[in-house]
Protein backbone atom coordinates (compact mmCIF):
# COMPACT_ATOMS: atom_id res chain seq x y z
CA UNK A 1 0.00 0.00 0.00
CA UNK A 2 1.37 3.43 -0.99
CA UNK A 3 2.33 5.59 2.05
CA UNK A 4 0.08 8.58 2.72
CA UNK A 5 1.72 11.79 1.47
CA UNK A 6 0.98 15.48 1.29
CA UNK A 7 0.13 15.16 -2.41
CA UNK A 8 -2.84 12.97 -1.32
CA UNK A 9 -4.07 15.87 0.86
CA UNK A 10 -3.60 18.33 -2.02
CA UNK A 11 -5.64 16.08 -4.27
CA UNK A 12 -8.43 16.00 -1.69
CA UNK A 13 -8.43 19.79 -1.23
CA UNK A 14 -8.86 20.73 -4.89
CA UNK A 15 -9.35 24.32 -6.02
CA UNK A 16 -12.97 23.43 -6.92
CA UNK A 17 -13.68 22.28 -3.34
CA UNK A 18 -12.01 25.36 -1.81
CA UNK A 19 -13.92 27.65 -4.21
CA UNK A 20 -17.19 25.98 -3.19
CA UNK A 21 -16.38 26.69 0.49
CA UNK A 22 -15.46 30.31 -0.29
CA UNK A 23 -18.82 30.79 -2.04
CA UNK A 24 -20.66 29.56 1.06
CA UNK A 25 -18.94 31.96 3.50
CA UNK A 26 -21.20 34.38 5.35
CA UNK A 27 -20.85 36.71 8.36
CA UNK A 28 -21.92 34.00 10.84
CA UNK A 29 -19.09 31.68 9.68
CA UNK A 30 -16.52 34.48 10.00
CA UNK A 31 -17.70 35.32 13.54
CA UNK A 32 -17.64 31.59 14.41
CA UNK A 33 -14.01 31.41 13.21
CA UNK A 34 -13.09 34.49 15.25
CA UNK A 35 -14.58 32.97 18.41
CA UNK A 36 -12.93 29.55 18.00
CA UNK A 37 -9.73 28.75 19.89
CA UNK A 38 -8.80 25.93 17.51
CA UNK A 39 -9.58 26.67 13.86
CA UNK A 40 -10.53 24.14 11.17
CA UNK A 41 -9.42 24.62 7.58
CA UNK A 42 -12.99 25.79 6.83
CA UNK A 43 -12.58 28.46 9.56
CA UNK A 44 -9.32 29.60 7.90
CA UNK A 45 -11.04 29.87 4.52
CA UNK A 46 -13.73 32.03 6.16
CA UNK A 47 -11.05 34.43 7.47
CA UNK A 48 -9.29 34.52 4.07
CA UNK A 49 -12.51 35.24 2.16
CA UNK A 50 -13.29 38.68 0.69
CA UNK A 51 -16.23 38.89 3.13
CA UNK A 52 -13.78 38.86 6.08
CA UNK A 53 -12.15 42.17 5.05
CA UNK A 54 -14.52 44.25 7.27
CA UNK A 55 -13.35 42.09 10.21
CA UNK A 56 -9.62 42.81 9.74
CA UNK A 57 -9.41 44.93 12.89
CA UNK A 58 -10.82 42.10 15.03
CA UNK A 59 -8.51 39.60 13.33
CA UNK A 60 -5.52 41.88 14.01
CA UNK A 61 -6.45 42.25 17.68
CA UNK A 62 -6.72 38.48 18.16
CA UNK A 63 -3.50 37.85 16.18
CA UNK A 64 -1.69 40.32 18.43
CA UNK A 65 -3.10 38.67 21.55
CA UNK A 66 -2.14 35.14 20.44
CA UNK A 67 1.35 36.16 19.35
CA UNK A 68 2.11 37.91 22.65
CA UNK A 69 0.67 34.95 24.53
CA UNK A 70 2.89 32.36 22.83
CA UNK A 71 6.00 34.41 21.99
CA UNK A 72 5.95 37.41 24.32
CA UNK A 73 7.09 40.80 23.05
CA UNK A 74 10.08 39.44 21.15
CA UNK A 75 11.34 39.52 17.55
CA UNK A 76 14.11 37.12 16.53
CA UNK A 77 16.74 38.49 14.14
CA UNK A 78 18.65 36.79 11.34
CA UNK A 79 20.66 37.78 8.30
CA UNK A 80 21.00 35.96 4.95
CA UNK A 81 24.42 35.09 3.48
CA UNK A 82 24.30 34.36 -0.24
CA UNK A 83 27.02 31.83 -1.13
CA UNK A 84 26.43 31.62 -4.88
CA UNK A 85 24.22 33.06 -7.61
CA UNK A 86 24.82 30.23 -10.10
CA UNK A 87 21.57 28.56 -11.18
CA UNK A 88 20.74 25.72 -13.55
CA UNK A 89 16.97 26.11 -13.30
CA UNK A 90 14.90 28.60 -15.27
CA UNK A 91 12.28 30.16 -12.99
CA UNK A 92 10.78 33.11 -14.87
CA UNK A 93 10.29 35.31 -11.77
CA UNK A 94 13.88 35.06 -10.46
CA UNK A 95 16.96 37.13 -11.34
CA UNK A 96 19.19 34.10 -10.61
CA UNK A 97 17.42 32.01 -13.30
CA UNK A 98 19.67 30.51 -15.95
CA UNK A 99 17.87 32.40 -18.75
CA UNK A 100 16.88 35.56 -16.86
CA UNK A 101 18.73 37.68 -19.43
CA UNK A 102 20.56 39.55 -16.67
CA UNK A 103 24.27 40.03 -17.50
CA UNK A 104 25.62 40.82 -14.04
CA UNK A 105 28.47 38.69 -12.64
CA UNK A 106 27.86 35.12 -11.44
CA UNK A 107 30.09 34.00 -8.55
CA UNK A 108 30.46 31.31 -5.90
CA UNK A 109 32.27 32.38 -2.74
CA UNK A 110 35.49 30.58 -1.83
CA UNK A 111 36.00 29.29 1.72
CA UNK A 112 38.14 32.35 2.46
CA UNK A 113 35.43 34.67 1.13
CA UNK A 114 32.75 32.91 3.21
CA UNK A 115 34.89 33.60 6.28
CA UNK A 116 35.21 37.28 5.31
CA UNK A 117 31.42 37.58 5.08
CA UNK A 118 30.94 35.77 8.41
CA UNK A 119 33.49 37.98 10.19
CA UNK A 120 31.85 41.15 8.85
CA UNK A 121 28.37 40.06 9.99
CA UNK A 122 29.52 38.80 13.39
CA UNK A 123 30.92 42.29 14.09
CA UNK A 124 27.32 43.57 13.90
CA UNK A 125 26.13 41.21 16.63
CA UNK A 126 24.33 38.77 14.32
CA UNK A 127 24.12 35.24 15.78
CA UNK A 128 21.63 33.60 13.42
CA UNK A 129 22.28 33.32 9.67
CA UNK A 130 20.57 31.80 6.64
CA UNK A 131 22.93 30.46 3.93
CA UNK A 132 21.52 30.62 0.39
CA UNK A 133 22.45 29.41 -3.09
CA UNK A 134 20.78 29.16 -6.48
CA UNK A 135 19.48 25.86 -7.86
CA UNK A 136 22.76 24.43 -9.20
CA UNK A 137 23.57 21.11 -7.48
CA UNK A 138 26.29 20.20 -9.99
CA UNK A 139 28.17 23.52 -9.72
CA UNK A 140 27.42 24.13 -6.03
CA UNK A 141 27.30 20.59 -4.61
CA UNK A 142 26.08 19.47 -1.21
CA UNK A 143 29.68 19.06 -0.03
CA UNK A 144 30.32 22.78 -0.68
CA UNK A 145 27.20 23.78 1.30
CA UNK A 146 28.18 21.37 4.09
CA UNK A 147 31.61 23.03 4.37
CA UNK A 148 29.98 26.48 4.33
CA UNK A 149 27.79 25.42 7.27
CA UNK A 150 30.87 24.23 9.19
CA UNK A 151 32.61 27.57 8.57
CA UNK A 152 29.54 29.60 9.56
CA UNK A 153 29.20 27.56 12.77
CA UNK A 154 32.58 28.97 13.86
CA UNK A 155 31.04 32.46 13.94
CA UNK A 156 27.32 32.06 14.65
CA UNK A 157 25.18 30.06 17.11
CA UNK A 158 22.44 29.23 14.62
CA UNK A 159 23.08 28.32 10.97
CA UNK A 160 20.18 27.62 8.60
CA UNK A 161 20.07 26.97 4.85
CA UNK A 162 17.81 27.93 1.96
CA UNK A 163 19.13 25.92 -0.99
CA UNK A 164 17.85 23.53 -3.67
CA UNK A 165 15.72 20.53 -2.71
CA UNK A 166 17.80 17.41 -2.11
CA UNK A 167 17.70 13.74 -1.10
CA UNK A 168 17.31 12.69 2.54
CA UNK A 169 20.96 11.53 2.72
CA UNK A 170 22.15 14.99 1.68
CA UNK A 171 19.92 16.70 4.25
CA UNK A 172 21.46 14.33 6.81
CA UNK A 173 24.92 15.57 5.75
CA UNK A 174 23.86 19.15 6.42
CA UNK A 175 22.25 18.22 9.74
CA UNK A 176 25.45 16.45 10.83
CA UNK A 177 27.46 19.57 9.93
CA UNK A 178 25.33 21.63 12.31
CA UNK A 179 22.46 22.96 10.19
CA UNK A 180 19.61 23.97 12.49
CA UNK A 181 16.96 24.89 9.94
CA UNK A 182 15.93 24.34 6.32
CA UNK A 183 13.86 26.90 4.45
CA UNK A 184 12.25 25.83 1.19
CA UNK A 185 9.34 27.60 -0.46
CA UNK A 186 7.04 25.60 -2.70
CA UNK A 187 6.65 28.93 -4.60
CA UNK A 188 3.09 27.88 -5.59
CA UNK A 189 1.10 24.72 -4.88
CA UNK A 190 -0.95 25.26 -8.06
CA UNK A 191 0.50 22.56 -10.35
CA UNK A 192 -0.48 24.26 -13.61
CA UNK A 193 1.08 27.57 -12.55
CA UNK A 194 4.15 25.77 -11.19
CA UNK A 195 4.71 24.13 -14.58
CA UNK A 196 4.34 27.46 -16.41
CA UNK A 197 6.83 29.45 -14.29
CA UNK A 198 9.50 26.74 -13.89
CA UNK A 199 10.67 26.17 -17.44
CA UNK A 200 13.64 23.83 -16.93
CA UNK A 201 16.09 22.38 -14.44
CA UNK A 202 15.75 20.16 -11.40
CA UNK A 203 13.32 22.59 -9.78
CA UNK A 204 10.75 21.71 -12.46
CA UNK A 205 10.10 18.43 -10.61
CA UNK A 206 6.98 19.49 -8.63
CA UNK A 207 6.59 16.35 -6.49
CA UNK A 208 10.30 16.17 -5.58
CA UNK A 209 10.12 19.73 -4.25
CA UNK A 210 6.76 19.14 -2.54
CA UNK A 211 8.24 16.37 -0.36
CA UNK A 212 11.61 18.05 0.31
CA UNK A 213 10.83 19.53 3.75
CA UNK A 214 9.49 16.17 4.93
CA UNK A 215 12.78 14.54 3.85
CA UNK A 216 14.70 17.23 5.75
CA UNK A 217 12.53 16.72 8.83
CA UNK A 218 13.29 13.00 8.91
CA UNK A 219 17.00 13.81 9.41
CA UNK A 220 16.39 15.71 12.65
CA UNK A 221 16.56 19.26 11.28
CA UNK A 222 15.10 21.35 14.12
CA UNK A 223 13.33 24.08 12.15
CA UNK A 224 11.47 23.69 8.83
CA UNK A 225 10.28 26.86 7.11
CA UNK A 226 7.70 26.78 4.34
CA UNK A 227 6.03 29.45 2.24
CA UNK A 228 4.67 30.49 -1.14
CA UNK A 229 5.69 33.37 -3.35
CA UNK A 230 2.67 35.59 -2.90
CA UNK A 231 1.71 36.87 -6.33
CA UNK A 232 2.58 33.85 -8.49
CA UNK A 233 -0.91 32.39 -8.28
CA UNK A 234 -4.27 33.19 -6.64
CA UNK A 235 -3.26 33.64 -2.97
CA UNK A 236 -6.69 32.62 -1.63
CA UNK A 237 -5.95 29.07 -2.79
CA UNK A 238 -2.17 28.99 -2.29
CA UNK A 239 -2.42 30.14 1.35
CA UNK A 240 -4.98 27.42 2.13
CA UNK A 241 -2.65 24.78 0.65
CA UNK A 242 0.28 26.31 2.58
CA UNK A 243 -1.71 25.99 5.82
CA UNK A 244 -2.51 22.36 5.02
CA UNK A 245 1.19 21.70 4.33
CA UNK A 246 2.22 23.29 7.66
CA UNK A 247 -0.32 21.15 9.53
CA UNK A 248 0.86 18.03 7.69
CA UNK A 249 4.51 18.78 8.58
CA UNK A 250 3.53 19.36 12.23
CA UNK A 251 2.24 15.79 12.36
CA UNK A 252 4.84 13.99 10.24
CA UNK A 253 7.89 15.95 11.49
CA UNK A 254 6.71 16.34 15.08
CA UNK A 255 10.27 16.83 16.37
CA UNK A 256 10.72 19.97 14.24
CA UNK A 257 9.38 23.50 14.63
CA UNK A 258 7.32 24.46 11.57
CA UNK A 259 7.66 28.13 10.72
CA UNK A 260 6.24 30.16 7.84
CA UNK A 261 7.40 33.05 5.70
CA UNK A 262 5.30 35.44 3.64
CA UNK A 263 7.48 36.61 0.71
CA UNK A 264 5.54 39.02 -1.50
CA UNK A 265 6.66 38.99 -5.14
CA UNK A 266 7.31 42.57 -6.23
CA UNK A 267 10.61 43.03 -8.11
CA UNK A 268 11.02 40.63 -11.03
CA UNK A 269 13.13 40.40 -14.22
CA UNK A 270 11.77 42.30 -17.27
CA UNK A 271 10.47 39.11 -18.90
CA UNK A 272 7.94 38.46 -16.09
CA UNK A 273 5.07 40.53 -14.71
CA UNK A 274 3.53 39.52 -11.37
CA UNK A 275 0.08 38.12 -12.30
CA UNK A 276 -1.62 38.30 -8.88
CA UNK A 277 -0.20 41.30 -6.99
CA UNK A 278 -0.89 41.17 -3.25
CA UNK A 279 -1.48 44.58 -1.70
CA UNK A 280 -0.82 45.48 1.95
CA UNK A 281 -4.42 44.92 3.05
CA UNK A 282 -4.35 41.40 1.62
CA UNK A 283 -0.97 40.71 3.24
CA UNK A 284 -2.39 41.76 6.62
CA UNK A 285 -5.40 39.49 6.07
CA UNK A 286 -3.10 36.55 5.20
CA UNK A 287 -0.78 36.99 8.21
CA UNK A 288 -3.53 37.56 10.78
CA UNK A 289 -5.70 34.68 9.49
CA UNK A 290 -2.70 32.34 9.53
CA UNK A 291 -1.78 33.45 13.06
CA UNK A 292 -5.27 32.48 14.24
CA UNK A 293 -4.95 29.11 12.43
CA UNK A 294 -1.34 28.40 13.55
CA UNK A 295 -0.96 30.18 16.92
CA UNK A 296 2.29 28.37 17.87
CA UNK A 297 4.21 28.76 14.59
CA UNK A 298 7.03 31.31 14.19
CA UNK A 299 6.30 33.76 11.33
CA UNK A 300 9.16 35.40 9.38
CA UNK A 301 9.21 38.64 7.39
CA UNK A 302 12.16 39.55 5.17
CA UNK A 303 13.53 42.79 3.75
CA UNK A 304 11.44 42.24 0.62
CA UNK A 305 9.07 44.55 2.52
CA UNK A 306 9.76 48.21 3.22
CA UNK A 307 10.76 49.50 6.65
CA UNK A 308 7.33 51.11 7.07
CA UNK A 309 5.45 47.88 6.24
CA UNK A 310 7.69 45.71 8.44
CA UNK A 311 7.27 48.03 11.41
CA UNK A 312 3.49 48.03 10.85
CA UNK A 313 3.35 44.21 10.82
CA UNK A 314 5.42 43.59 13.99
CA UNK A 315 2.36 43.49 16.31
CA UNK A 316 0.22 41.41 13.94
CA UNK A 317 1.85 37.99 14.20
CA UNK A 318 5.46 38.35 13.03
CA UNK A 319 8.06 36.75 15.32
CA UNK A 320 11.24 36.86 13.22
CA UNK A 321 12.78 39.44 10.86
CA UNK A 322 15.90 39.67 8.71
CA UNK A 323 18.12 42.70 9.23
CA UNK A 324 20.93 44.43 7.38
CA UNK A 325 20.38 42.12 4.41
CA UNK A 326 22.09 41.77 1.04
CA UNK A 327 20.83 39.32 -1.61
CA UNK A 328 24.20 39.42 -3.45
CA UNK A 329 27.00 36.88 -2.81
CA UNK A 330 29.77 38.78 -1.06
CA UNK A 331 27.41 41.67 -0.38
CA UNK A 332 28.69 42.44 3.11
CA UNK A 333 32.44 42.56 2.46
CA UNK A 334 33.91 40.71 -0.54
CA UNK A 335 32.00 42.46 -3.35
CA UNK A 336 30.60 45.39 -1.39
CA UNK A 337 33.03 47.96 -2.74
CA UNK A 338 32.94 47.28 -6.50
CA UNK A 339 33.79 50.30 -8.66
CA UNK A 340 31.61 51.66 -11.46
CA UNK A 341 34.00 50.13 -14.05
CA UNK A 342 33.43 46.62 -12.66
CA UNK A 343 30.50 44.41 -13.61
CA UNK A 344 28.36 44.16 -10.44
CA UNK A 345 27.64 40.81 -8.83
CA UNK A 346 24.08 39.64 -9.51
CA UNK A 347 21.61 39.91 -6.61
CA UNK A 348 18.56 37.64 -6.34
CA UNK A 349 16.07 40.45 -5.85
CA UNK A 350 15.94 44.08 -4.82
CA UNK A 351 15.29 44.58 -1.12
CA UNK A 352 12.98 47.36 0.14
CA UNK A 353 14.24 47.74 3.72
CA UNK A 354 17.80 49.10 3.59
CA UNK A 355 18.19 49.78 7.31
CA UNK A 356 21.27 48.60 9.15
CA UNK A 357 21.07 45.94 11.86
CA UNK A 358 21.30 48.67 14.48
CA UNK A 359 18.43 50.62 12.91
CA UNK A 360 16.18 47.52 12.78
CA UNK A 361 16.98 46.79 16.44
CA UNK A 362 16.05 50.38 17.36
CA UNK A 363 12.76 50.12 15.46
CA UNK A 364 11.86 46.88 17.29
CA UNK A 365 12.65 48.43 20.67
CA UNK A 366 10.66 51.56 19.79
CA UNK A 367 7.53 49.38 19.60
CA UNK A 368 8.18 47.87 23.02
CA UNK A 369 9.57 44.58 21.72
CA UNK A 370 12.87 42.90 22.59
CA UNK A 371 15.22 41.78 19.78
CA UNK A 372 16.34 38.15 20.16
CA UNK A 373 19.69 37.26 18.57
CA UNK A 374 19.33 33.48 18.92
CA UNK A 375 16.17 31.62 20.00
CA UNK A 376 17.57 28.14 20.63
CA UNK A 377 20.61 26.86 22.51
CA UNK A 378 21.51 23.22 21.64
CA UNK A 379 23.69 22.98 24.74
CA UNK A 380 20.58 23.32 26.90
CA UNK A 381 19.13 20.09 25.45
CA UNK A 382 22.46 18.26 25.81
CA UNK A 383 22.62 19.24 29.48
CA UNK A 384 19.22 17.73 30.32
pLDDT tens-digit readout, 172-217:
999 999 999 999 999 999 999 999 999 999 999 999 999 999 999 9
Please check the confidence at residue 98 and state whether its pLDDT lies above 70.
Answer: yes
**pLDDT at residue 321, rounded to an integer:** 96
Residues 6+ apart with CB under 8 A from 132: 80, 81, 82, 83, 161, 162, 163, 348
Banded pLDDT at 145 (limits 50, 70, 90): very high
Chain segment 315-353, per-residue pLDDT in tens: 999 999 999 999 999 999 999 876 656 789 999 989 999
pLDDT over 70 (residue 122): yes
**For the chain, how are helix, strand and coil distributed in percent, rounded to 5?**
45, 15, 45
**pLDDT for res 4:** 79
Mean pLDDT of 215-233: 97
What is d(CA 160, CA 233) in angstroms, rounded to the nearest whole number? 27
Band of the pLDDT at 81, cuts 50, 70, 90?
very high
Lowest mean pLDDT among 20-24, 147-151, 238-242, 313-317: 313-317
The mean predicted confidence, pLDDT, of the chain is: 94
- Separation of alpha carbons 374 and 71, rounded Å: 14
Q: Which pLDDT value is given to residue 339?
A: 60
Q: What is the percentage of the chain residues whose pLDDT exceeds 90?
A: 90
Render the burial of 33-66: b for 16+ CB within 10 Å, e for the rest: bbeeeebeeebbbbbbbeebeebbeebbebbbeb
Residue 158 pLDDT > 60, yes or no?
yes
pLDDT band at residue 241, thresholds of 50, 70 and 90?
A: very high
The Cα diameter of the chain in Å comes to: 63
Find the helix or strand (DSSP H, E) in which 20 lies: helix 15-23
Distances (CA, A) of 112 to 163, 334, 365: 20, 10, 35
The average pLDDT across 55-82 equals 97
pTM: 0.95
Q: Cα–chain-centroid distance for residue 91?
A: 17
Q: Which of 322, 371, 285 is nearest to 130 (CA)?
A: 322
What's the pLDDT score for residue 3? 63
Q: How confident is the model at residue 82 (pLDDT cuts 50, 70, 90)?
A: very high
Amino acid sequence: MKPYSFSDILNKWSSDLIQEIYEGINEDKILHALENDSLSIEDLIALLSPKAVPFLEKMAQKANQLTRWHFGRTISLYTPIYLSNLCASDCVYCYFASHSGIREKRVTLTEEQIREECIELSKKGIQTVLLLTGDAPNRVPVEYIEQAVRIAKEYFKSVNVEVYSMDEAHYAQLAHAGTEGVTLYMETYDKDTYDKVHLSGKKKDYLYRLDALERAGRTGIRRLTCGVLLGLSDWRFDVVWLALHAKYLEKTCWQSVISLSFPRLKHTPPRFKVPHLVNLEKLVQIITAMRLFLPYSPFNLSTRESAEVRDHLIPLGITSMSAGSSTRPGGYKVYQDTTTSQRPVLEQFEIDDHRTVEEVVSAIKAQGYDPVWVDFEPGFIKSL
